[in-house]
Amino acid sequence: MRILVTGGAGFIGSHIVDAYLKMGHQVVVIDDLSTGDIKNLNSGAQFYKQDICVLEIEEIFKKHKFEIVNHHAAQINVRTSLANPLFDARVNILGSLNLLNLSARYKIKRFIFASSGGAIYGEPKKFPITENFPLIPLSPYGVAKIATENYIRVFARLYNFDYVILRYSNVYGPRQIPKGEAGVISIFIKQILHNDKCYINGDGNQIRDYVFVDDVVRANILALDSISETFNIGTNIGTSVNDLIEILKIVTDRDIQYEHRPPIPGEVFKNILDYSKAKRLLNWKPTVSIRDGIAKTYQFFLNGKEKIS
């Protein structure tokens, strides 16, 4: 198939591009390289350095006649969305709407979207979180993800294409940039490899659901043939920041120095996703444990320190 992957030079997107090319698909990548890295890009993909918000990307749709759009390009930092909600909305809402408009105009068959299971549910009172939980975001980033989900469902109904919305928990693994709160594992690994102190916001008891990037890629492969649906992509396992430090001590065989700092205002304290719907309807489940995934991630950065400088 002819597939467009937006954000295909980024952390998650580049792994998806690799997998789609390996399957024999024709892959085109649009990425403005604001957070992506050209070194991540598979040479088998055709690349356009472009902003998803600009109208000029219509020429790319016109030329390649995509059957699938896999949308991973985004403003990825919750804190940036708090500091600059207009910028967040421009990229994450208007950029997505530009892609949807072109997808409708050029009659794509399927739209796959990377949403956030960590930002859209807010602070629920029970866990794990299912797709039916109320959507009560605590940040403009979460609001933008919900808005895009709704636009996708409306456009799919109006213009007769399929869609798959994947609500990721905290994704980690090789190629993740050590920036932003979602990249805590790569941030810690960077600090460890540079013999720096690790900084923990708050008491470190914040709990997240960490899913390895290879498992996320598999969800994007299965999404090529799925029914139109919305799925949580997580592990149903909570891991605290303090737990991460202990796992990293074992994996790296180092005595890690760390320090607690004040908590970040507005940060979600606990997030654990129920993936039973994905297991039932997408035939997906996580396969990589947090310890094995951290070991793979550490080995990647250990073998190429320039990638984390």
Phi, psi of 211 (to 5 degrees): -120, 135
CB atoms within 10 A of CB 158: 10
Measured CA to CA in angstroms, residue 240 lies from 122, 274, 284 at distances of: 17, 17, 24
Which CATH number among 3.40.50.620, 2.60.120.10, 3.40.50.2000, 3.90.25.10 corresponds to the domain 175-208+237-308? 3.90.25.10
| Per-residue pLDDT at 308 | 44
| Per-residue pLDDT at 182 | 66
Cβ contacts of 243 within 8 Å, gap of 6 or more? none
CA-based nearest residue to 81, from 145, 7, 149, 139: 139
CA-based nearest residue to 291, from 235, 218, 231: 235
Tell me the one-letter amino acid at 288: V
Decide: residue 220, CB within 10 A, 0-12 exposed, 13-18 middle, 19+ buried. buried
User: How many residues belong to the chain?
Assistant: 309
How do the domains of the chain map onto residue ranges? 2-171+210-233, 175-208+237-308
Bridge partners of 134? none
C-alpha–C-alpha distance, residues 9 and 108, integer Å? 22
The series of mean pLDDT values per 10 residues for the chain, 309 residues long, is 98 98 98 96 98 98 98 92 96 98 98 97 96 96 97 98 98 88 88 95 95 98 98 98 97 95 83 98 98 98 65
Catalytic residue among 141, 163, 168, 210: 141
CB atoms within 10 A of CB 35: 18
How remote is the C-alpha of 292 from its chain's centroid?
20
C-alpha–C-alpha distance, residues 235 and 164, integer Å? 19
- Respond yes or no: is residue 168 known to be catalytic: no
| Per-residue pLDDT at 306 | 42
C-alpha–C-alpha distance, residues 215 and 257, integer Å? 31
Residues 119 and 141: beta-carbon distance below 8 Å: yes
H-helix or E-strand spanning residue 18: helix 11-22
CA-based nearest residue to 115, from 80, 141, 154, 138: 141
Tell me the one-letter amino acid at 89: A
Show the tokens assigned to 171: 């994704």
| Per-residue pLDDT at 266 | 64
Dihedral of alpha carbons 246, 248, 250, 255, sign? negative
- Would you say domain 2-171+210-233 falls under CATH 3.40.50.720? yes
Q: How many helices (DSSP H) and strands (DSSP E) are in the chain? A: 11, 13
